[in-house]
Structure 1
Amino acid sequence: MARRLRFNGTGSGGTGCPSVHEDLDSREVIVHGPPLTDPKDVAQLQHLSEGEVAVVVPRDLLVDWTPKGDGTRQARIIGLDEFEDLFRTFKHTAWRLEMRQRYASDETTDTYRQFLETGAAQWDPDDPYCELIRSQTAQGKRVERVRIVDQPPTTGQLYLLDNAKRNSALGEDIRNLWRADAERLYQLPAEDFWLFDSRLVALLRFDDDDQLVDVELITEPAEVVRYSVIRDAAWHHAVPYKDFAAGLAE
């Protein structure tokens, strides 16, 4: 069975080589880079076994991107009230990546039932979430999302595309990206998260039934940088939701 590898980061000005990956299950670290080929250099290496290849990487690559400690960072789980407070206390930006095909909590709402029946929902522009986000964007703060969409889109993804009309009216900037493009252009992780002020990550953890179970708060600088890189890649390639919806209608 193939390993579950996570891209941690790269050196060489971001050209992709050398790079560091991490095995999410074994916690092993995989480094790739230009091979050491000069026979005089190779002859100086100790314990280089048959089949092994030596690669050359900058010291900064290992300092910046290899896991720190013993690889068993204690997860900090926060309650939903504390998670909600993050939307009141962020200073500049709140950015979301939505990777899932469905969210079970959506399917219990009246708006979801309306969408199934009519293809559109009657959104309440004054519910507590709307009031909170509107108050934040009115201060010049940015709230942004990238939503990954399958081809063809799932019902839940079409529902959220309809939802984007309401949320954009609150001042959110919502964009979409085909999953195939996300996988081809940049290997985005199968994780949903919020990134606040490029300073902390709220990783949303779901069960097998697509129910939100809990939220893990991540403040480790190297991890925050990794999620920031994911944000930049997704945002660069994503399409404003109106353009994306217009493409679906063609």
Structure 2
Amino acid sequence: MAGLITGDAFTDLFREFAHTAYRLEVRRAYDTEADDTLPRFLAGEEPDLPWFQPWLDLMVEQTGQGKRVERVRVVDDPPSDYLRFEMWLNPHNQAAGEDIRYLHRHTAAQLGLPGYDYWLFDSRILAKLEFDDDGDRFLGVTLDDTPTEVVTHNYWRDAAWHYAETFDTYQQRISAAAR
């Protein structure tokens, strides 16, 4: 499996997995140049979500078939502006069937988690997310089904999931700390 997978071919991975899709998110920010959603959020406004609706619809479709979509987000204390924005979006992800957990960056380092984002589909296909060198613009994914790579990433998934907090627990803890 080689080459960069983008566009519909990348989206098809979410239509074609049979049981589980898992993502480790380690970046502090992702490209937001395409629209004004993040700046509106940071200005205290409630952003519109039409840009996000196709993803939510896809997740509803997939989780409605009994498939699991899970993520662990590695976060700083305090979380970056972008991660606060993602936390604001989290209830929409949850309503679509995604289970997103939160893991402190210090714990991720102690666990030896990688410094890059990846998806695992059905515990057998690894999709490493690729970003440009100048910023946070997503370029696509490279696929890998090499047994040693897949097993290593499954181990990281299991370790991250074990130590990560549910969204509600994480949100309560950081809210209490902010008081």
Length-normalised TM-score, structure 2:
0.90
2:124 matched residue in structure 1? 199
The runs of at least 4 aligned residues of structure 1 exceeding 2 Å deviation read 74-77, 106-111, 119-126
Q: Gapped runs of 5+ residues in structure 2? A: none
Q: Partners of 1:164 and 1:226 in 2: how far apart? A: 28
Deviation at 1:125, TM superposition (A): 9.7
2:3 to 61, 69, 76: 76
1:43 aligned partner? none
User: How far is the alpha carbon of 1:192 from its aligned partner?
Assistant: 0.4
- Residue 155 (str. 1) matches residue 66 (str. 2): no
1:127 matched to which residue of 2?
53
Match of 2:14 in 1: 87
Distance 1:217 1:192 in 2: 13
The one-character-per-residue Cα deviations of 1:173-228 (angstroms, maximum 9, x if unpaired) are 010011011112x0100010110000101100112311112310111111111110
Hey, what does 1:221 align to over in structure 2? 147
How has the CA–CA distance of structure 1 residues 229 and 140 changed in structure 2, closer, same or farther, with 3 Å as cutoff? Answer: same
Q: CA deviation at 1:119?
A: 6.4
Q: Per chain length, whose mean CA-contact separation is higher, i.e. which structure has more relative contact order (CA < 8 Å, sep 6+)?
A: 2
1:189 paired residue among 114, 117, 137 = 114
Task: Indicate whether 1:175 and 2:101 are aligned.
Answer: yes
Gap runs ≥5 in structure 1: 1-73
How many aligned positions are there? 175
1:193 aligned partner, one-letter code = Y
For 1:29, the equivalent position in structure 2 comes to none
Higher helix share: 2
Give secondary structure in 2 for the equivalent of 1:242: helix
Structure 1 residue 111: deviation in Å?
2.8
Q: 1:165 to 1:110 in 2, by over 3 A?
A: farther
Distance 1:153 1:217, change over 3 A: same
What is the CA–CA distance in structure 1 between the aligned matches of 2:65 and 2:92, rounded to whole Å?
A: 19
Cα-to-partner distance string for 1:28-62 (whole Å, 9 max, x where unaligned): xxxxxxxxxxxxxxxxxxxxxxxxxxxxxxxxxxx
Q: Percent same amino acid at aligned positions?
A: 44
